[in-house]
Every structure is written in structure tokens, then in C-alpha cells.
Amino acid sequence: MLPLVTRAPAKINLTLHVLGRRAGDGYHELESLVAFSGAGDVLSLEPGPDLTLTVSGPTAGPAGPFGDNLVIRAARNLVALKPGLRLGAFHLVKRLPVAAGIGGGSSDAAAALRLLARLNGFAVTDADVMAAARATGADVPVCLDPRARMMTGAGEHIGEALELAPLPAILVNPGVPVATAPVFRALGLDIGERHRPETHPSVAAGGGPDAVLAVVGPARNDLEAPALSVAPVIGTVLAALRAQAGCRLARMSGSGATVFGLFADRSAAARAAAQLRTRYPDWWVKSALLR
């Protein structure tokens, strides 16, 4: 049997509102409009008796040891719910930057669950798949079916796919990993404390770029300011993107350090990406269509 293959696309938080910190479990309560890029990792699964993982690609080094990799953790979580699951050898081609605010590890984990579901003949909507995703990480459930949608709570509540028109964009990472925990600590919320709890603007399904920008523009990423205190270079990236012709909005994704820019059209995005690569050769710069 040939290996099963799937992509693990980058997850972009077009908005990220922090409503507060929950009293029960201490998790931060979020509302976020999420979209996905064509840029991403690639995961394959060759059926076999043992669960194994190999990693290659330009960002394979920081991907973490076997036992800590989210691909393996997701697979083990599903095995715990479905004993006797057919397994095999995973191979991950790692292209996305690590600790970058674009859900690379979470998307890899979701890809592993999709491949195991396909190998074993059940749907990715199976309740055990969703339970394994939630047990693996807060961003894994939204990555199971990577299409634009709202994500709320601590990531456990996933809205319906919005089928937005593709948004021309650039993704830029300055090569500085930013761990999530220090950014949330810098936000400084105590357990039970509320933070800017106003309702997120509604997003209509099937919206075009102008309609999406009308919603996304006045919204925000509440982690951007604390992330700037952890990694000031994010401010340099934001300024560089905002200076590009045709850039309609520049904002940080997730907890950083990746920043996205939304552009008027694909040509403007491609020109800006080329200019940024020339001026900042050490940065990771990708043109993208977010959807």
C-alpha cells in the first residue's frame, strides 16, 4: 500500500480577542477568526505495525524529540480512545517555522489524525478524533478541517466553515521563536479576570476580501502588545509590511512572531514579498492565499 499523504497548512489568526481568564481552569478565553494558508508542512503515513516518526525539511531541527512531537502525541491520544487502531510510520517534512504563532505543530497533529482516520476508514468528524484533537492541544481541533472559521473558548468551540474568498497575503517571520506562555504572562491576567469582553464582530459566510477586511480591520490581536515586549523585532516586521505598496492591513498571528499582511491583489503581495526577501534575507517570507 502506498503511503497516505496530507498537507498541514499554516493557521493564521486574522483576529484574536482575549475575553478574560476563566475561573474554573485558568485557561484564557478567546474569540478568533482563523484562516489557513497554502504554505505548510507535509505529513505522510506508511501503514505498518509500529508507530514511528521521522522528520526532515528546513525546520526539522527545532521540531522536538520523538515523544514530545505533537504528531506522536495526537496518534497516542487517538489510540487510547480506539484500541486496535491501524498505525504505521509517519514522515513529516517540516517547512513552517517553529514557535511562530501559526499553529505548525497543531496543524501537524491534526494532519496525523486525518491520516489515521483515513487509514482506519472513519470520518475526521468522528467524536473520538475530535476528543483526541482536544487532548493534544488547544489549536488542534480547528486544524482538523483547515478552512476559515471562528474559534472560541480555549479553542474547544469551532464554528462552521465560512467559505471566504481567498485573501491575498504575505506571511513573515523574523526567525525568532516565541513561546506562547511568556506572551500570556506578559498580558498579565489573573484567574477570573475579564479583559476587553466586547463581542467579536460577526463574519458572514462567503464574504469577499472587502467584506472580510471590513470585519478584520477594526478588530485586533490582544496578544500583539505583550508579544512586542517579549520579542521587539515583531514591531520591525509590522513596520516593514505596512510600508509595502498595496498592504491593507498588517497584524501579528497568534502569539507571534509571525506577522501577516493582507494585500489588494496577488500581484501586489508577490512584489512586496520579493522586496522583503531582498531587504531581509534572513526572514521567512511567503506569499499566500488565506482561505
| Residues recognised as catalytic | 11, 139
How many Cβ atoms are within 10 Å of 260's Cβ, its own excluded? 27
| Residues contacting residue 225 through CB under 8 Å, at least 6 positions apart | none
Residue with cell string 494558508: 37
Per DSSP (E only), the strands in 154-270 are 157-158, 167-173, 247-252, 259-263
Query: What are the backbone angles phi and psi of residue 38, rounded to the nearest 5°?
Result: -70, -25
Angle at 92 between CA 140 and CA 175, to 5 degrees: 75
* CA dist., res. 230 & res. 226, Å (int): 7
| Residues contacting residue 67 through CB under 8 Å, at least 6 positions apart | none
Q: How buried is 98 (Cβ within 10 angstroms: 0-12 exposed, 13-18 middle, 19+ buried)?
A: middle
